[in-house]
Amino acid sequence: MILLLIAVGVVYSVLGNALDAATIISVIAILVLAEVWNEYRAKRSISALRELAPPTTLVLRNGQAVEMQTAFLVPGDVLLLRLGQRVPADARLLEAFGLEIDESSLTGESFPATKDATAVLPSETRVPDQANMVFTGTVITRGRAKAVVTQTGVGTELGRISGITQAVKEPKTQLQLSMKQLSKTLVWVALFLPS
């Protein structure tokens, strides 16, 4: 549509009325600015989601604590979690000592959740009630723990939510719908009305 409007604008600027050409070019500019703004907002949102995962984490390998990049975590790795750390992957607790986690980024709950490694829960337990699990992007506010990674990347709860938000198309605003209708009308007017 934008390319068609540009073509009509060029034709009108050469053969037609300068006012019509200016109007068409103004419509094109507004459409392009609206698209650029929407793209900027989408990239900013994705960037904010990426910042929820820490770049490195402490992992138990061959009985030794090793710092490694979270991108290389795989299910089965044993995480050593400590106060103030952002959880790098979804994991089941093996040991927990006074562990409380801020899960507000995932559940919206404002109070820290108390975690218990000994809790046995049914598989259909809701995320906010899973006391024996820690999730990507949440922050440890108290205690320490050892946990085995169960999911990484897009397989995590945060990754699932991110996938859902990317799959859902943002509805067009009233301005966008009006601009689309106006551009269609202008194209028909420009094509069929004599100058």
Q: List beta partners, residue 122.
A: none
User: Domain 56-155 falls in which CATH fold?
Assistant: 2.70.150
Whole-model pTM: value is 0.57
Tell me, what DSSP letter sits at residue 40? Answer: H
- Return the closest-CA partner of residue 162 out of 153, 171, 172: 153
Q: How far apart are CA 25 and CA 18, in angstroms?
A: 10
Pinpoint the residues of the chain covered by CATH 2.70.150.10.
Answer: 56-155
The number of angstroms, rounded, from the C-alpha of 60 to the middle of its chain's C-alpha atoms is 30
Per-residue pLDDT of the chain (195 residues; tens, 9 = 90+): 667 667 777 777 777 777 877 777 788 788 888 888 888 887 887 776 666 556 788 898 888 888 888 888 889 999 999 998 888 889 999 999 999 999 887 788 888 989 988 888 887 888 778 888 999 888 899 999 999 999 887 778 877 766 666 666 667 778 777 777 877 787 777 677 655
Contact 159, 153 (CB under 8 A): yes
